Chains A and B, each alone.
Chain A
Amino acid sequence: MCLAIPGLIVSLVPEFQRLAVVEVSGVRRRVDLGLLEDDMPGPGDWVLIHVGFAMSRISQHEAEEQMRLLRMLGEEGAAIEEIRGYDSAVQDV
Chain B
Amino acid sequence: MRFVDEFRDPDVINHTIEEIQRLCEPGRHYRFMEVCGGHTHAIYRFGLKDLLPDNIELIHGPGCPVCVLPMGRIDDGLKLGERPDLIFTAFGDMMRVPGANGSPLEHKARGMDVRIVYSPSDALTLARRNPDRHVMFFAIGFETTAPSTALVLKRAKEEGIRNFSVFCNHVTIIPAIRAILDSPDMRLDAFIGPGHVSTVIGCRPYEWIARDEGKPIVISGFEPLDMLQSVVMILRQLREGRAEVENQYRRVVPWEGNRAALRAMSEVFALRPFFEWRGLGFISQSALCLRESYAAWDAEQLFQVAGVRVTDPKAAQCGEVLKGVLKPHQCKLFGRECTPERPVGALMVSSEGSCAAYYNYEHRKGLAAAGSAATSF
Contacts and interface: CB of A to CB of B under 8 A. Distances in A.
> Are the chains A and B members of one assembly?
yes
Interface of A: 1-2, 4, 32, 34-38, 48, 50-53, 55-56, 58-59, 62, 65, 68-69, 72-75, 82-83, 85-87, 90
Interface in B255-280: 258-261, 264
A36 B260 contact: yes
B258 A69 contact: no
Nearest to A75: B351
B258 to A, nearest CB: 6
B196 interface: yes
B271 to A, nearest CB: 20
Interface string B212-235: 000000000011000000000000
A87 B120 CA distance: 10
Given A32-B148, A52-B119, 16 more contacts: A2-B196, A4-B196, A32-B119, A34-B264, A35-B147, A51-B118, A51-B148, A52-B120, A55-B200, A72-B6, A82-B118, A85-B118, A86-B119, A86-B122, A87-B121, A90-B129
Given A52-B122, A82-B118, A2 B148 contact: no
Nearest to A3: B38
B28 interface: no
14 contacts: A1-B65, A2-B352, A32-B121, A53-B121, A55-B196, A55-B200, A56-B254, A65-B8, A68-B8, A72-B6, A72-B45, A73-B42, A82-B118, A87-B125
The B interface is mostly helix, strand or loop, or mixed, namely helix
The A interface is mostly helix, strand or loop, or mixed, namely mixed
A83 B118 CA distance: 8
A47 B38 CA distance: 19
A58 B144 CA distance: 16
Contacts of A2: 37-38, 65, 141, 144-145, 196, 352
Contacts of B117: 85, 87
Interface residues of B, number: 43
A2 B94 CA distance: 12
Interface in B141-191: 141, 144-145, 147-148, 151
A77 B196 CA distance: 20
Contacts, number: 107
Contacts of A34: 151, 260, 264
B119 A74 contact: no
A59 B260 CA distance: 20
Given A2-B37, A65-B223, A68-B8, A87 B144 contact: no
The 10 closest A-B pairs by CB, nearest first: A52-B119, A85-B118, A87-B122, A53-B148, A1-B91, A1-B93, A35-B261, A38-B260, A51-B119, A82-B118
